[in-house]
Structures are given as C-alpha cells and as structure tokens.
Amino acid sequence: MPTDIEEFERALTDCVTIAGQAMPDCAMVSIALCGDDDLHTAACSHSRAELLDGLQQATGQGPVLDAIDSGKSVTVSDLAADSRWPRFTAGAPEVRGVHCEPLAYEDVLLGVLTVYTGRSAGLPDEAWVALRVTAAHVPVLFRTALDVARMREVAAQLKEALNTRAIIDQALGIVMAQRRCTAREAFEILRQVSQDRNVKLHQLAASIVEKVSGRPPQRSRFEEPPQRISSRRP
C-alpha cells in the first residue's frame, strides 16, 4: 500500500504532467518541496528540470532559492543577461527563461513550482493559466494528504483501542469466573493489581489471558473495508 507521501508525490507528478502539456516544447516543469535543510524535487516533466533544481542547491544560488527565501515569485526573461546567479547560469547554458512560483499552505512554504524554458520570449497565455492553476492546486493536494494521514492515524489508534479493550474483556471474564464476582468488581481488581505492580492495565490483562489459555491473547480482527473496484466497459 503506498504511503501518504507517495500518494502526494504521485498527485504532484500528475499536476506537473498536465502543466507541462500547456508549455512550449522547450519548457520543463518541476515542483521542489522544502525539507529541513534542503530541497527535494518531488515531481518534474523532464529529468533535466530535477538536475537544474539540484544545481541551484549545490551552488547555493538561483531563482528557486530566491523564491524560497523571499516567498515571492521570481521571473527571469533572459538568464544569460542576468548577473545574480553566475554559478547556476554557468551550469545551465541551455536555459534562457525561468519562472518560480512559491507554494504555500496556511502561511507555511511548501516548495516552489518552476518552469525552465530555452527561449527568452516568455510563455504563452495558456502556459501562464496552467501555472496558476497548478500552483493553486498543490496546497489543496497537500491539505488532502494531511487529512488522509490524520484519518489513518485516528483509525489506527481506534483499532488499537478496540483490540486492547477486547483483551481486557477476556481478562475480566477470567477474573469473574475465578472470583465469582461482577464485571465492575473484576475491573476494580484488575485496576488495583495494575497499580500495585506498576504495569499497564492491558498488559496485565494480556498476561492473565496467556497464563490461563497457555497462549497469547487473540486480538480482535478489524478488517479494512475492501477497495472499491470501478467497473470498466470493454
């Protein structure tokens, strides 16, 4: 099963692919995400775009880094005539135009959407529209991925709580049978022993079940819902 990060990056790749189709033939698109200390190119329309992102990180200069530092768009119409990033320019002789669009979610910078072109004439109108749509869509994807991750975490916690409760219920049944007491009284006995031995209640319950049955307690099975299979017409 793919992780939330893998699903997020796959969606970014789809965005870059769609945006790239609206670009001139000489244009390359990338989305670089901010890490703790570096950049990670999560999606690109051409492998060269990833190398250009990496070149800026390696040289410590470039329009992508400026966009990250300022949080503002950076547009270069003719890289050869721009003196701001000589080390990057020297390593990217085929690049003429660059546009970097910061990507943010709730005032937190996620990364940068970048277009590299081999001409200085600028981008056609449809390319700018594709860039704006893509830049607006990435935070939505991030929020969705974040919501999914949170839901999975809550589901995992709930599943663990249900399994733990099932083991405690098994132990309660054993104590009730041995002590001939009510469920409330059995729970109080377990709680007191748990405090006296300084062990968690579910760990104590598991040891009781294993001692009586001779095997570890059987955890309840909570199956994941089956994946919905979309029907396809032949």
Q: For every residue of 142-174, which 3-state class applies, written as one string? A: HHHHHHHHHHHHHHHHHHHHHHHHHHHHHHHHH
Statement to judge: residues 124 and 163 lie in one domain: no
pLDDT at 32 over 70: yes
Is 131 within 8 Å of 49 (Cβ atoms)? no
Number of domains in the chain: 2
Query: Of 103, 118, 149, which residue constitutes the final position of a domain?
Result: 149
Contact partners, residue 14, CB within 8 Å, separation at least 6: none
The token duo for 83 is 């003196």
For residue 11, being part of any structural domain is answered with: yes
For residue 71, being part of any structural domain is answered with: yes
Pick the closest to residue 120 from 86, 82, 85, 76 (CA basis).
76
Which CATH number covers residue 162? 1.10.10.10
Alpha-carbon separation of residue 87 from 112, 194, 221 (angstroms): 20, 66, 59
Spatial distance between the Cα atoms of 45 and 232, rounded to a whole number of angstroms: 29
pLDDT tens figures, 43-60: 898 899 999 999 999 999
219 or 22, which is more confident: 22
Mean of pLDDT values over 108-125: 83
**Which range has the worst mean pLDDT, 28-32, 205-209, 223-227?**
223-227
**Which range has the worst mean pLDDT, 54-58, 65-69, 87-91, 129-133?**
129-133
170 or 156, which is more confident: 170
The token duo for 232 is 């396809």
Which CATH number covers residue 85? 3.30.450.40
pTM: 0.61
Mean of pLDDT values over 13-33: 83
For residue 8, being part of any structural domain is answered with: yes
Statement to judge: residues 34 and 139 lie in one domain: yes
Please give the single-letter amino acid code of residue 24: P
pLDDT tens figures, 195-206: 888 888 888 888
The parent domain of residue 189 ranges over: 156-213
pLDDT at 83 over 90: yes
Q: What is the largest CA-CA distance in the chain?
A: 90
Statement to judge: residues 107 and 202 lie in one domain: no
Statement to judge: residues 32 and 135 lie in one domain: yes
Q: Are strands 97-105 and 74-76 parallel, antiparallel or unpaired?
A: antiparallel
Pick the closest to residue 220 from 171, 163, 157, 155 (CA basis).
163
Statement to judge: residues 109 and 175 lie in one domain: no
For residue 138, being part of any structural domain is answered with: yes
